[in-house]
C-alpha cells in the first residue's frame, strides 16, 4: 500500500507521499514515490501508488530513459498545458499496464497503479489531477480541493474537517503530517520517511522539497501531541445522559 | 456497507450498529442489525455486517423460526458458555453461506457476512467475539478491547487514541457517537438511525437499548461540535517552520 495526498492551495500546491512498498508483510522496502520535473516554463510533480514495477516503468518512460543519457529531455516539460500533461501521463500509465496485463503470464497481483500529477505550465494556473489505471483522470476543484491515492481512509476525516485552501502553508503542512500520522498508526504498509514538496504559483522552479524521516523533530512532536490534542477535543464535548 | 462497533468495558459491554443496507447506490433501505436475546441466565447481543440475506437467515435460524411460533425457544440461551455461543453462531453463519455459495447459481456479490457477538452466561465473565464468514472467531481482550465490522477505517483513529475500558459509560457512548459520525460523513453506505445497547456485568437483563435517529439532539450536538473541536485541537499544535 501507499499513502499520497496533494492539496490544491489558493496559490499553489502541496504534495506528500510515503515511501514504503511491500510485497507481502515480510518483504518491505523504501522507494521514492514523488517525482518532479521543472524548467523555466513548467513545474510538474507526480506521485504514484500501486504496482511498483508499473509505476517505475511509467517514470522511466516519462524521463525518456529509453534514450541515451545525453539525448534525454523529458517531452512532458514541453507540453502546452497541464491538461496535456495529465493526458500524456494517463496514456503512458495505460500503455504500461496493458503491456504487462495482456498476453503475458498471469500474476497473482494486478499491475494496476494510480497517479496524482500536478503543477503549472506557463500561461495557465496550477492544476492537480488524479489518474486512474485506465488512463482517464479527474481534476481537483474548489469543491474537492485535495486528492488522495493509496490508503486514503484513515487520514481523510481530518482533511475533510480542517482543510481550507486559504490556510497558511505552515498549517497545511501540519495538516498533512496529522493525516499521515493517523494513517501510519493504523496501516503497516504506509511508513516513514515521507517526501514533501511545495510549489508556489508562477515560480516555475523545482519547488521546495524535503524529506521527513523518523527522527524529524517536528513530526515526532505532531505524532506525540496529536493523540493528546484529540483526547482533549473529545473530553471537551459534553457527555450524554444515560438512563439506567 | 455497514458499521458496527462493540466496546469491552471493565464491567460490561457497549454495542452500536448503523441500520443502512444497500444494493447499489440507488437501492438503500433501513434494517436492524443489532439483535438481543436474554433470560435470567444469559444475555447475548449480536451485530451483523455483510450480505443481508445471509445475516437475516442466520438470525432466523438462531431464533428457531423454522419451528411453530409456540415451540420456539432460542437454544442459544441454554448454552453453558459464551465460547459455545460464539461457536454456534459461527457454525450457523458458515452453514448459511455454504448453502448459498455452493452448487447454486452464481451471484455477482458474495454471500459473506461478519458478526460481532457478545454477552454473558451465568458463571462466566462478559465476553466479546468477532466471527468470520468461515465460522471461526477471535475474542476481544485487554490489548484490543474493541471490535469493529463493516466500514471500520474512518472511525478507527479516534477509538485507538481515546478508548479506555475504565472510562465512564457516558464517555464511551460519546466516543462511539464520534466514531460513527466520522464514518457517516465519509461513507454514504453507513447511515442513521443507530442502534445502541449497554449491558452491565451480572445483570442478566435485556440491557439498556435505544435508537439514535437523525433528530437525536445529543447526536446532532456531537456531529456539529466534533468538527469544531477537531479544528481546535489541530490549531493548538504549533506550525512547522518552512524554508522558502
- State the average pLDDT for chain B: 93
**Residue A70 in domain:** yes
- Which residues in chain A are closer than 8 Å to B226, comparing Cβ atoms? 233, 237
Whether the per-residue pLDDT at B141 is higher than 70: the answer is yes
For B208, name the nearest residue in chain A, comparing CA atoms only: A244
pLDDT at site B235? 94
pLDDT at site A67? 80
For residue A110, give the C-alpha cell: 494486478
pLDDT at site A1? 81
> Which has the closest alpha carbon to A16: A187, A148, A104?
A148
Q: Which among B227, B230, B239 has the least Cβ separation from residue A170?
A: B239
**Residue A200 in domain:** yes
Residue B98, classified by CB atoms within 10 Å of its CB into exposed (0-12), middle (13-18) or buried (19+), is middle
**Residue A180 in domain:** no
| Separation CA A155–CA A177 (nearest Å) | 10
Minimum distance, in Å, between the CA of residue B162 and any CA atom of chain A: 6
- Which residues in chain A are closer than 8 Å to B235, comparing Cβ atoms? 171
| Separation CA B148–CA B106 (nearest Å) | 29
Mutate to test the interface with A, among B230, B241, B243 (most CBs of A within 10 A): B230
CB-based contact B157 A185, cutoff 8 Å: yes
Minimum distance, in Å, between the CA of residue A238 and any CA atom of chain B: 8
For A217, name the nearest residue in chain B, comparing CA atoms only: B240
Question: Sign (positive/negative) of CA torsion A146, A147, A150, A152?
Answer: positive
**Residue B237 in domain:** no
Q: How far is CA A25 from the centre of its chain?
A: 22
**Residue A171 in domain:** no
Number of domains making up chain B? 1
| Separation CA A216–CA A220 (nearest Å) | 6
Is residue A38 a contact partner of residue A85, using CB atoms and an 8 Å limit?
no
- Better pLDDT: A109 or B116: B116
Q: Which among B221, B231, B241 has the least Cβ separation from residue A161?
A: B231
For the residues A202-208, what does the mean pLDDT come to? 97
pLDDT at site A74? 84
> Which has the closest alpha carbon to A212: A203, A204, A199, A221?
A221
Question: Sign (positive/negative) of CA torsion B69, B199, B211, B143?
Answer: negative
Name the band, by pLDDT with cuts 50, 70 and 90, for residue A23: confident
| Separation CA B55–CA A175 (nearest Å) | 40
For residue B25, give the C-alpha cell: 447506490
Pairing of strands B34-39, B42-50: antiparallel
Name the band, by pLDDT with cuts 50, 70 and 90, for residue B108: low
Minimum distance, in Å, between the CA of residue B226 and any CA atom of chain A: 8
- Which residues in chain A are closer than 8 Å to B158, comparing Cβ atoms? 230, 234
For the residues B55-72, what does the mean pLDDT come to? 88
| Separation CA B185–CA B187 (nearest Å) | 6
pLDDT at site A71? 84
For the residues B123-146, what does the mean pLDDT come to? 96
| Separation CA B229–CA B85 (nearest Å) | 41
For B200, name the nearest residue in chain A, comparing CA atoms only: A244
Whether the per-residue pLDDT at A135 is higher than 70: the answer is yes
- Which residues in chain A are closer than 8 Å to B153, comparing Cβ atoms? 153-154, 186
Mutate to test the interface with A, among B1, B144, B153, B180 (most CBs of A within 10 A): B153
CB-based contact B241 A156, cutoff 8 Å: no
DSSP A189-229: TS-S-EEEEEEETT--S--EEEEE-TT-HHHHHHHHHHHHH
pLDDT at site A108? 61
Name the band, by pLDDT with cuts 50, 70 and 90, for residue B111: confident
Please, which residues bridge with residue A64 across strands? none
Q: Which among A169, A178, A242 has the least Cβ separation from residue B234?
A: A178
B183 φ/ψ angles, rounded to the nearest 5 degrees: -75, -45
Name the band, by pLDDT with cuts 50, 70 and 90, for residue A107: low
**Residue A106 in domain:** yes
For residue A132, give the C-alpha cell: 486512474
> Which has the closest alpha carbon to A177: A228, A115, A225, A128?
A225
For residue B62, give the C-alpha cell: 438462531
**Residue A28 in domain:** yes
Distances from the Cα of B27 to the Cα of B21, B53, B188, B189, angstroms: 8, 15, 12, 10
Minimum distance, in Å, between the CA of residue B50 and any CA atom of chain A: 19
- Better pLDDT: A101 or B52: B52
Cell 499544535: give the residue: B237
For B205, name the nearest residue in chain A, comparing CA atoms only: A244
- Which residues in chain A are closer than 8 Å to B156, comparing Cβ atoms? 154, 186
- Better pLDDT: A177 or A26: A177
Full residue range of the structural domain in which residue A50 is found: 3-153+188-214
DSSP chain B: --EEEEEEETTEEEEEE--EEESSTT-EEE---EEEEEETTEEEEEEEEE-HHHHHHHHHHHTTTTS-GGG---GGGG-SSHHHHHHHHHHHHHHHHHHHHSSS---SS---EEEEEEEEETTS--EEEEE-TTS-EEE--SSS-EEEEES-STTHHHHHHH--TTS-HHHHHHHHHHHHHHHHHH-TTS-S-EEEEEEETT--S--EEEEE-TT-HHHHHHHHHHHHHHHHHHHHSPPPPPP-
| Separation CA A69–CA A237 (nearest Å) | 61
CB-based contact B240 A218, cutoff 8 Å: yes
Whether the per-residue pLDDT at A167 is higher than 80: the answer is yes
Name the band, by pLDDT with cuts 50, 70 and 90, for residue B109: low
Q: What is the CATH number of the domain that holds B178?
A: 3.60.20.10
**Residue A56 in domain:** yes
| Separation CA B211–CA A134 (nearest Å) | 44
Amino acid at each position: 500500500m501507499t499513502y499520497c495526498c496533494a492539496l490544491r492551495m489558493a496559490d499553489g500546491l502541496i504534495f506528500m507521499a510515503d515511501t514504503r512498498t511491500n510485497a507481502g508483510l515480510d518483504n518491505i522496502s523504501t522507494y521514492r514515490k514523488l517525482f518532479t520535473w521543472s524548467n523555466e516554463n513548467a513545474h510538474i510533480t507526480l506521485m504514484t501508488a500501486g504496482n511498483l514495477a508499473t509505476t517505475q516503468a511509467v517514470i522511466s518512460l516519462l524521463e525518456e530513459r529509453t534514450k541515451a543519457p545525453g539525448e534525454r529531455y523529458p517531452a512532458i516539460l514541453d507540453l502546452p498545458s497541464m491538461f496535456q500533461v495529465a493526458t500524456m501521463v494517463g496514456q503512458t500509465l495505460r500503455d504500461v499496464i496493458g503491456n504487462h496485463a495482456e498476453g503475458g503470464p498471469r500474476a497473482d497481483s494486478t499491475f494496476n497503479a494510480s497517479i496524482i500529477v500536478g503543477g503549472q505550465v506557463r500561461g495557465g494556473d496550477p492544476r492537480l489531477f488524479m489518474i486512474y489505471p485506465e488512463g482517464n483522470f479527474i481534476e481537483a476543484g474548489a469543491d474537492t480541493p485535495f486528492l488522495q491515492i493509496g490508503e486514503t481512509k484513515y487520514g481523510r476525516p481530518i482533511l475533510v474537517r480542517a482543510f481550507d485552501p486559504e490556510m497558511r502553508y505552515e498549517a497545511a503542512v501540519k495538516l498533512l503530517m496529522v493525516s499521515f500520522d493517523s494513517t501510519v498508526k493504523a496501516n503497516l504498509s504506509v511508513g516513514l520517511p515521507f517526501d514533501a514538496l511545495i510549489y508556489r504559483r508562477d515560480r516555475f522552479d523545482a519547488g521546495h522539497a524535503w524529506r521527513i524521516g523518523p527522527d524529524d523533530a517536528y513530526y515526532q512532536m505532531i505524532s506525540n501531541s496529536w493523540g493528546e490534542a484529540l483526547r482533549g477535543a473529545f473530553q471537551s464535548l459534553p457527555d450524554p445522559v444515560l438512563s439506567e
